[in-house]
């Protein structure tokens, strides 16, 4: 306990130049102000952050008046929910009026009402570890629901009955899974039971809010914990049904892998490799696209599973089917077009490497591999490597060496030919000049012919490309 107190004191000293002055401004105006939620929890865990959540007795108009002239910037995008945001130096601060909000049984939007005291505000929060507060500027600690004890035991529990909490805001069920993944905490049995019994209540939550929680979960340090909880409670069946569908019944001879467990393992192995995507400052990691692709790369298998007469199992074209399912699910969850296309491309291409064999691809095939992957090539490298979950060390080593060889060949060709920007050796203007034609369908056909020539034979001199183009044109022209 003493160590926790020291960590909190050190964190309060670190953020003191911001919160103490702000606390005095609110106190002088006759209002209370508390640091609350995640920042208090993370201070106890020794996890520093620059985003501060505060709660106050002041209503939004008064909050806005008090921070203007003090903050470097102020925004009110959350005013409808009682929140005013601002920035002070490097700090991002959100100040929310004491509130009480709940979802009516048939509504996708919460009804927001302002509360009157801190205890009521803390009582409506999701979990006890997020229901602790520190008053400002006097730094008095408030923990009416035993959050510090639950923090010490690393358990997620609701301040009141979980059924009441999840009825007020069903998204808290997904947040339980997300915090389990982020913090590595266990979820109390009564909370798991309520999540299971009330899973269908998640249907009233908008796709965008579900998506945001799913992204946070997948990008957490231990996503397997959270995903397994979603599957166990039946929530996954409602928000990402393709995941529990991977729990295929195994055939009596166990001739195919447990696809669900395999997918979770591929996700974890992809996480171990995603540092390849990080910039010099570590930016870009965690990477949702590569993690989500790893998680769902095999979602086409349930649709394509076939048992053969010899008892073996096939999943022909599960890559193509999986890409279609990926697009459908991600669009339903309102992901951006860029994310949908990136993940779908990775799912569609995740088997392509297995045609490489022992390095028998021609340079043309390697170029096509790079072209088809496009800007997802590095992620495809990660996914393909992570997809090897065999316990046969010799087989795993062979696959790793083979992929090393493919990457080496890509690097050599990239240095020689600028593979990242493969284009025909003649552009559209040159094509029209040589063939004496104007813009139209025929220019596109000629462009595609030259691109295929470039893929098959590598870079051409302008003279060779022109000769090939004229021969192709003469052969197709009546």
CATH 3.50.30.30 fits 1-146, yes or no: no
Q: What is the pLDDT of residue 239?
A: 97
Q: Which residues contact 248 (CB under 8 A, 6 or more apart)?
A: 256, 258, 259, 260, 301, 302, 305
Q: Tell me, rounded to whole angstroms, the distance of Cα 386 from its chain centroid.
A: 17
Domains of the chain, by residue range, sit at 1-146, 154-239, 261-421, 428-476
pTM of the entire predicted model:
0.84
For residue 248, give both structure tokens. Answer: 């295929």
pLDDT at 267: 98
Burial of 229 (0-12, 13-18, 19+ CB in 10 A): buried
Q: How far apart are CA 431 and CA 44, in angstroms?
A: 67
Alpha helices (H) in 53-130, listed in sequence order = 60-67, 118-123
DSSP state of 318: H
Q: Which two tokens stand for residue 254?
A: 């166990």
Q: Give me the CATH code for the 154-239 domain, please.
A: 1.10.110.30
Residue 253 has a pLDDT of: 42
Quote the CA–CA distance of 31 and 39 in Å, as a whole number. 21
Quick one: how far is CA 323 from the chain centroid?
17
Paired with 111 in beta bridges are 102
Separation in Å, CA 225 to CA 53, 158, 177, 195: 26, 19, 7, 15
Buried b (16+ CB within 10 A) or exposed e, 326-362: bbebbeebebeeebbbbbbbbbbbbbbbeebeeeebe
State pLDDT tens for residues 45-101: 888 778 899 999 999 999 999 999 999 999 998 898 899 999 999 999 999 999 876
Q: What is the pLDDT along the chain (478 residues), one digit of tens a residue?
A: 667 777 888 888 888 888 999 999 999 999 999 999 999 999 888 887 788 999 999 999 999 999 999 999 999 988 988 999 999 999 999 999 998 766 666 665 666 778 889 998 999 899 999 999 999 999 999 999 999 999 999 999 999 999 999 998 999 999 999 999 999 999 999 999 999 999 999 999 999 999 999 999 999 999 999 999 999 999 999 999 999 999 975 544 444 558 999 999 999 999 999 999 987 777 778 999 999 999 999 999 999 998 888 878 889 899 999 999 999 999 999 999 999 999 999 999 999 998 887 677 888 888 889 888 989 999 999 999 999 988 889 999 988 999 999 999 888 887 765 555 567 878 888 888 888 888 888 888 888 888 888 877 878 888 888 888 888 888 876 5
> CA gyration radius for the chain?
28
Residue 12, H or E segment: helix 2-28
Closest-CA residue to 130 (of 189, 185, 197, 62):
185
Chain mean pLDDT for the chain: 89
How far is residue 454 CA from its own chain's centroid?
36
DSSP 328-352: HHHHHTT--HHHHHHHHHHHHHTTG
Burial of 142 (0-12, 13-18, 19+ CB in 10 A): middle
Inter-residue contact 312 to 255 (CB < 8 Å): yes
- CB contact at 8 A, 240 and 214: yes
CA atoms of 335 and 329, how far apart (whole Å): 9
Condensed to tens digits (0 to 9), the pLDDT of residues 88-107 reads: 999 999 999 998 766 666 66
Specify the pLDDT at position 252. 43
438: DSSP letter: -
Helix-then-strand count for the chain, H and E: 22, 13
């Amino acid at each position: 306990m003493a160590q926790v107190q020291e960590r909190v004191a050190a964190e309060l000293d670190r953020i003191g130049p911001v919160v103490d002055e702000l606390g005095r401004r609110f106190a002088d105006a006759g209002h209370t102000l508390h640091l609350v939620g995640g920042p208090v929890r993370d201070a106890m865990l020794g996890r520093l952050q620059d985003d501060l959540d505060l709660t106050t007795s002041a209503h939004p108009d008064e909050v806005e008046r008090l921070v203007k002239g003090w903050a470097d910037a102020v925004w009110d995008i959350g005013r409808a929910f009682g929140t005013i945001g601002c920035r002070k130096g490097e700090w991002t601060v959100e100040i929310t009026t004491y509130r009480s909000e709940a979802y009516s049984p048939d509504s996708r939007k919460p009804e927001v009402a302002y509360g009157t005291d801190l205890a009521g505000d803390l009582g409506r929060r999701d979990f006890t570890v997020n229901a602790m507060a520190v008053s400002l500027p006097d730094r008095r600690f408030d923990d009416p629901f035993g959050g510090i004890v639950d923090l010490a035991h690393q358990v997620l529990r609701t301040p009141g009955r979980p059924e009441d909490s999840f009825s007020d805001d069903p998204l808290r069920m997904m947040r339980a899974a997300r915090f389990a993944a982020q913090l590595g905490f266990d979820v109390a049995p009564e909370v798991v039971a309520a999540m299971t019994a009330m899973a269908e209540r998640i249907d009233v939550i908008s796709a965008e809010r579900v998506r945001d929680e799913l992204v946070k979960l997948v990008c957490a340090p231990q996503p397997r914990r959270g995903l397994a909880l979603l599957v166990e409670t039946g929530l996954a069946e409602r928000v990402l049904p393709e995941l529990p569908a991977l729990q295929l019944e195994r055939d009596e001879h166990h001739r195919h892998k447990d696809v669900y467990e395999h997918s979770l393992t591929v996700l974890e192995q992809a996480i171990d490799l995603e540092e390849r995507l990080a910039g010099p400052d570590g930016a870009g990691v965690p990477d949702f696209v590569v993690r989500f692709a790893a998680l769902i790369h095999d979602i086409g298998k349930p649709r394509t599973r076939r048992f053969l007469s010899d008892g073996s199992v096939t999943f022909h074209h599960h890559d193509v089917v999986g890409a279609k399912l990926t697009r459908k699910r991600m669009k339903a969850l309102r992901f951006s077009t860029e994310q949908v296309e990136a993940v779908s491309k990775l799912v569609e291409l995740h088997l392509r490497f297995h045609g490489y064999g022992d390095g028998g691809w021609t340079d043309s095939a390697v170029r096509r591999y790079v072209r088809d992957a496009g800007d997802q090539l590095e992620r495809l490298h990660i996914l393909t490597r992570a997809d090897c979950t065999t316990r046969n060390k010799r087989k795993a080593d062979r696959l790793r060496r083979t992929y090393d060889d493919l990457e080496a060949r890509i690097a050599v060709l990239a240095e020689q030919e600028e593979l990242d920007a493969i284009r025909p050796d003649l552009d559209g203007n040159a094509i029209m000049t040589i063939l004496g034609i104007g813009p139209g369908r025929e220019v596109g056909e000629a462009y595609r012919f030259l691109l295929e020539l470039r893929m098959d034979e590598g870079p051409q001199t302008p003279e060779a490309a022109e000769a090939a183009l004229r021969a192709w044109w003469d052969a197709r022209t009546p």
